[in-house]
Homo-oligomer: A and B are copies of this chain.
């Protein structure tokens, strides 16, 4: 469980208190939750859909730093202004808080603090793993690492390890892995030809049973 059910740590009376400050909201695909530089006073929990977080350079080059799925938590890593943008990849439903309301709750519900520190710690570990990927892995290792991450996160949400449903475009995968669209496509085709996976449709990946994805993603071919 990475971010799953931030809300679920709150029970009974806590939920009642929360009810006063939480607002549900829906956002269409390709619209922003917020953009880099916006004042950061909100915190989000994803209920449904996929969100991407990213940073860009002045000339448009973009690095996606993470994808968020139902249960994931968003907006922790900020004080002052957001240092990255958050955009809906699919239609998305969220619940949103004011950050100051949450700070107030720390006093009454110390579990919240533990939970936030755990979330921060997990995100940092994931970020370090991604730095290793971006700095040192080959295109094939990146794709396999990506499939592994997507499969494991689907499992945490109670879905099967395979088939993997990719809710984002090839362009988003490329911007997440530090590659181009063409390299993502070619590498997937190559893996298909090798029998590692099947691609019945661009967004559906079926992993070959018995293939050690974790080892292959680390170059232990």
A interface list, Cβ under 8 A from B: 53, 55-59, 61-63, 65, 76-79, 83-84, 106, 110, 113, 116-118, 120-121, 123-125, 127-132, 134-137, 175, 177-178, 218-220
Known: A57-B218, A123-B124, A124-B124. 4 other contacts (CB 8 A): A77-B128, A113-B113, A134-B135, A135-B175
Closest 3 CB pairs of A and B: A135-B178, A134-B134, A127-B127
Please state the number of chain copies in the assembly.
2
- The reply to whether A83 and B128 contact each other, CB–CB distance below 8 Å, is yes
- The reply to whether B219 and A59 contact each other, CB–CB distance below 8 Å, is yes
- The reply to whether A65 and B137 contact each other, CB–CB distance below 8 Å, is no
In the bound complex, CA of A18 to CA of B214 (Å): 42
Q: Which residues of B contact A220 (CB under 8 A)?
A: 58
In the bound complex, CA of A127 to CA of B131 (Å): 8
Q: Which residues of B contact A83 (CB under 8 A)?
A: 125, 128-129
Closest chain B residue to A113 by CB distance?
Answer: B113
- The reply to whether A84 and B128 contact each other, CB–CB distance below 8 Å, is yes
- The reply to whether A58 and B219 contact each other, CB–CB distance below 8 Å, is yes
- The reply to whether A128 and B65 contact each other, CB–CB distance below 8 Å, is yes
In the bound complex, CA of A61 to CA of B177 (Å): 17
Quote the shortest CB–CB distance from A43 to chain B (angstroms): 12
Quote the shortest CB–CB distance from A120 to chain B (angstroms): 4
Q: Which residues of B contact A116 (CB under 8 A)?
A: 117
In the bound complex, CA of A79 to CA of B1 (Å): 14
Q: Which residues of B contact A77 (CB under 8 A)?
A: 120-121, 124-125, 128
User: Which residue of the partner chain, among B61, B131, B137, contacts A131 with CB atoms under 8 Å?
Assistant: B131
Cβ contacts A to B, 8 pairs, < 8 Å: A55-B128, A61-B136, A63-B132, A76-B117, A77-B120, A77-B128, A127-B127, A130-B131
